[in-house]
Amino acid sequence: GENVEQHPSTLSVQEGDSAVIKCTYSDSASNYFPWYKQELGKRPQLIIDIRSNVGEKKDQRIAVTLNKTAKHFSLHITETQPEDSAVYFCAARPKGGYQKVTFGTGTKLQVIP
Amino acid sequence: DVKVTQSSRYLVKRTGEKVFLECVQDMDHENMFWYRQDPGLGLRLIYFSYDVKMKEKGDIPEGYSVSREKKERFSLILESASTNQTSMYLCASSLPGTNTEAFFGQGTRLTVV
């Protein structure tokens, strides 16, 4: 089955700096890579996703890049703000298989004002 | 606005008890999932269902079973609760398709004593 590794497990940045979270996956058949944000005490929510036929996708201060050859993908947050503080999960879904998603272990991001 | 509701926010049960965790979604989603969330381990899939009365094992199904008698409701059952099942349990639902967002419930914090 799919295995997703996520690094770092914790990340502290100064407000206004950039943050990068990296994930690798094992199944070359995976073709969909969502990122979820979970604020303290709340449910995970999708913030951005990317398909395997796309190398990069941006949404305001958030961007995701995908390298299919190396089987890794990354989340980039620019101009970080205190409200970006949360746990971020990457995930990968193989083609077919009833849309089963495998999550990474999460990154706790702290933005220091 | 999608709503996924879990029956309890906090639950305390005794070792050996049979435990039912209920999840209801109101958006007519075909897919429903149960995850457990533990620090450092991320979100691990226990079971998922892609249709009424259909179920598939996830990555950690041991000690759990599920029931889906109606499309909107997906129940997780701990046949005989044990202390190592103390965790946060998250239900999610999604439409079918290869690139669909999973909507999560607010979670049930289960403590087995």
CA distance B10 to A37: 22
CA distance A14 to A86: 14
Residues contacting A27, CB < 8 A, separation 6+: A1, A2, A3, A92, A94
At B98 the pLDDT is: 64
At B106 the pLDDT is: 95
Counting residues of chain B whose pLDDT is more than 70, the rounded percentage is 96
* Interface contact B101, partner A, CB < 8 A: yes
Quick one: average pLDDT of A56-85?
A: 96
* Interface contact A94, partner B, CB < 8 A: no
At A70 the pLDDT is: 94
Give the one of A89, A95, A100 whose C-beta lies nearest to B43's C-beta. Answer: A89
User: Hey, are the CB atoms on A100 and B58 less than 8 Å from each other?
Assistant: yes
Counting residues of chain A whose pLDDT is more than 70, the rounded percentage is 96
The encoded tokens of residue A68 equal: 């299919």
| pLDDT exceeds 70 at position A96 | no
Cα–Cα distances (Å) from B66 to A7, A52, B30, B53, B77, in that order, read 32, 32, 15, 10, 6
pLDDT digits (tens, 9 = 90+) for B62-107: 999 999 999 999 999 999 999 999 999 999 999 887 677 889 999 9
| pLDDT exceeds 70 at position A98 | no
Q: Which of A18-22, B17-21, B57-61 has the lowest mean pLDDT?
A: B57-61
CA distance A30 to A94: 4
Quick one: average pLDDT of A72-85?
A: 97
Chain A residue closest in CA terms to B30: A98
CA dihedral A22, A49, A37, A73 (to 10 degrees): 0
| pLDDT exceeds 70 at position B10 | yes
pLDDT digits (tens, 9 = 90+) for A27-41: 988 889 999 999 999
Chain A residue closest in CA terms to B93: A99
